[in-house]
């Protein structure tokens, strides 16, 4: 049943406002989450003892970065629990506050030289808070926009929001590049590294203020009015009655994480180590691929509305597998084709824009936030964390390991798409 008036109505100005504010907040929140990784080298030097070997301080810094991923499932489950019981809007606003404040504090945090061991411990605490926030933000944003727009625009809404998250990653890369261009390494270490964190925190608080103008979703409001909210712990209901939806959602999230982690995050380094491209060329190519990914997310969302999620995911996964193979097998012989080939692969990774449309529709409204958040965050923590390790181990035996890994997971995505249920009504 669709609780949002006529399912055939077009998108209104309020719908576009909701989408814009949700995408803006998601982009800024993802920027806050990823900006840390662009400054791991300087953070490692400033927040650990000078006597510590460089490799060990770097390892511990990456460990603090990884802590944000480890805590995502727990943060997402807790925020989703209250989102299903108290309201989507409250948790949607809470998530960006929980991200903006730690990011702002990171920019003002004293270093090891000032407060000793307390510096890395406080940094770890703030990173854990960021992880909890992003664990609630992404599923919460998908649920929020999908319950606002007409049923036949859910794919477009989720695809647009996913594109916004992609722009957050791109924004982090651009700001980090700008800081390192405008300042010398000594100036960055002296304090310029704080600027992107302070900016992120301020922008995040601004986005939280703007979200005050959003309204609770009509779907949740009607559940509340009819007193039809979950009668027990939402996650308990999900694990008892919706295990099939959890499995489908986790497998599709595996494909999503493989596309993002391998093609977008790992490939710039692989281009330099395996194919001999210089860092500048790799960065330019990656920027283009990320832009094409954002466009691809919106296209995949629109197609999910027009022809269905099942067909979109099956065809998109097939195209991603083919283009990934062509990309990795062609570069040695034709390095001049780097930009168009990487742009094509990036666009095809956009098939992940259709994934949240499936996840949103897989669970009933009473437990939707909890079901989506549990499946997505747990799968991303497992597969997102293991993917770099697995690909790195495979690379020892075969330079085409990244392509084979993505192709294999695309195959899983194609099979999983056959089990996707297409609801006839709205969410």
Complete DSSP assignment for 17-85: HHHHHHHHHHHHHHHHHHGGGGGHHHHHHHSS-TTS-HHHHHHHHHHHHHHHHHTHHHHHHHHHHHHHH
Gyration radius of the chain over CA positions: 21
Alpha-carbon torsion 416, 263, 126, 196, what sign?
A: negative
Q: Which helix (H) or strand (E) holds 243?
A: helix 243-258
CATH class in words for 234-427: mainly alpha
Could you read off the pLDDT tens digit of each residue along the chain, which spans 427 residues? 444 444 567 888 888 888 888 888 788 878 887 788 778 778 888 988 887 776 677 677 767 767 777 788 888 888 888 878 777 777 877 888 888 899 999 999 999 999 998 999 999 999 888 888 888 888 888 988 888 888 889 999 999 999 988 888 888 888 888 888 889 989 999 999 999 999 999 988 888 887 777 777 777 777 767 665 655 678 888 888 889 999 999 999 999 989 988 898 888 878 888 888 887 788 888 889 999 999 999 999 999 999 999 999 999 999 999 999 999 999 989 999 999 999 999 999 999 999 999 999 999 888 898 899 999 999 988 887 788 878 888 888 888 999 999 999 999 999 999 999 876 555 6
The answer to whether residues 173 and 30 touch, using CB atoms and an 8 Å cutoff, is: no
Distances (CA, A) of 353 to 237, 300, 316: 27, 6, 10
Instruction: For the chain, count helices (H), then strands (E).
Output: 21, 0
- What is the spatial distance between Cα 146 and Cα 152, in angstroms, rounded to a whole number? 10
E strands of 158-204, at which residues? Answer: none
Contacts of 42 (CB under 8 A, 6+ apart): 188, 189, 193
Beta carbons within 10 angstroms of residue 110's beta carbon: 13
Domain residue spans of the chain: 14-229, 234-427
Burial 359-385 (b: 16+ CB within 10 A, else e): bbbbbbbbbbbbbbbbbbbbbbbebbe
Contacts of 20 (CB under 8 A, 6+ apart): none
What is the predicted pLDDT for the residue at 5?
45
Q: Which CATH architecture has domain 14-229?
A: Up-down Bundle (1.20)
What is the predicted pLDDT for the residue at 426?
57
297, HSE (Cβ side, Cα atoms, 13 Å): 26
- What is the spatial distance between Cα 27 and Cα 162, in angstroms, rounded to a whole number? 9
- What is the spatial distance between Cα 344 and Cα 347, in angstroms, rounded to a whole number? 5
Is the pTM value of this prediction over 0.85? no
Tokens of 66: 């990884």
Complete DSSP assignment for 374-393: HHHHHHIIIIIHHHHHHHHH
Residue with tokens 């709205």: 426
The yes-or-no answer to whether 14-229 and 234-427 have a common fold is yes
Cα torsion 153, 156, 160, 161 to 10°: value is 60
- What is the spatial distance between Cα 70 and Cα 381, in angstroms, rounded to a whole number? 6
What is the predicted pLDDT for the residue at 232?
66
What is the predicted pLDDT for the residue at 92?
72
- What is the spatial distance between Cα 317 and Cα 222, in angstroms, rounded to a whole number? 37
What is the predicted pLDDT for the residue at 4?
46
Pinpoint the alpha helices (H) of 148-241: 154-182, 185-187, 194-210, 218-225, 234-241
Tokens of 234: 């939402």
- What is the spatial distance between Cα 55 and Cα 424, in angstroms, rounded to a whole number? 55
């Amino acid at each position: 049943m669709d609780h949002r008036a006529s399912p055939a109505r077009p998108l209104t100005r309020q719908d576009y406002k909701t989408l814009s504010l949700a995408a803006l907040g998601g982009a800024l929140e993802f920027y806050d989450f990823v900006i840390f990784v662009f400054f791991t080298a300087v953070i490692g030097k400033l927040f650990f003892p000078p006597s510590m070997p460089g490799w060990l301080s770097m390892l511990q810094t990456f460990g603090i970065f990884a802590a944000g991923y480890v805590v995502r499932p727990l943060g997402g489950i807790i925020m989703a629990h209250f989102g299903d019981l108290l309201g989507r809007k409250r948790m949607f606003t809470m998530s960006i506050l929980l991200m903006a404040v730690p990011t702002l504090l990171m920019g003002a945090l004293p270093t090891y030289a000032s407060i000793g061991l307390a510096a890395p411990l406080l940094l770890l605490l703030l990173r854990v808070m960021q992880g909890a926030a992003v664990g609630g933000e992404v599923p919460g944003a998908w649920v929020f926009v999908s319950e606002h727009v007409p049923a036949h625009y859910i794919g477009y809404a989720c695809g647009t929001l996913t594109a916004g998250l992609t722009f957050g990653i791109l924004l982090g890369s651009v700001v980090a590049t700008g800081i390192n261009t405008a300042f010398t390494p000594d100036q960055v270490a002296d304090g310029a590294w704080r600027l992107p964190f302070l900016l992120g925190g301020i922008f995040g608080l601004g986005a939280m203020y703007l979200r005050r103008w959003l309204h609770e979703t009509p779907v949740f409001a009607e559940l509340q009015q009819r007193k039809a909210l979950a009668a027990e712990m939402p996650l308990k209901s999900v694990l008892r009655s919706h295990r099939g939806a959890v499995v489908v959602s986790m497998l599709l999230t595996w494909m999503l994480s493989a596309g993002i982690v391998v093609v977008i995050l790992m490939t710039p380094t692989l281009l330099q180590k395996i194919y001999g491209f210089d860092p500048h060329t790799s960065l330019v190519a990656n920027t283009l691929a990320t832009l094409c990914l954002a466009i691809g997310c919106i296209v995949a969302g629109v197609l999910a509305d027009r022809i269905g999620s099942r067909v979109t995911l099956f065809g998109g996964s097939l195209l991603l597998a083919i283009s990934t193979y062509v990309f990795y097998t062609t570069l040695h012989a034709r390095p001049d084709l780097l930009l168009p080939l990487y742009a094509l692969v990036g666009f095809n990774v956009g098939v992940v824009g259709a994934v949240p449309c499936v996840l949103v529709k897989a669970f009933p409204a009473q437990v939707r936030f909890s079901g989506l958040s549990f499946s997505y965050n747990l799968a991303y923590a497992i597969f997102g964390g293991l993917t770099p390790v697995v690909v790195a181990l495979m690379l020892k035996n075969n330079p085409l390991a990244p392509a084979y890994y993505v192709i294999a997971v695309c195959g899983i995505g194609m099979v999983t798409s056959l089990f996707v249920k297409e609801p006839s009504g709205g969410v």
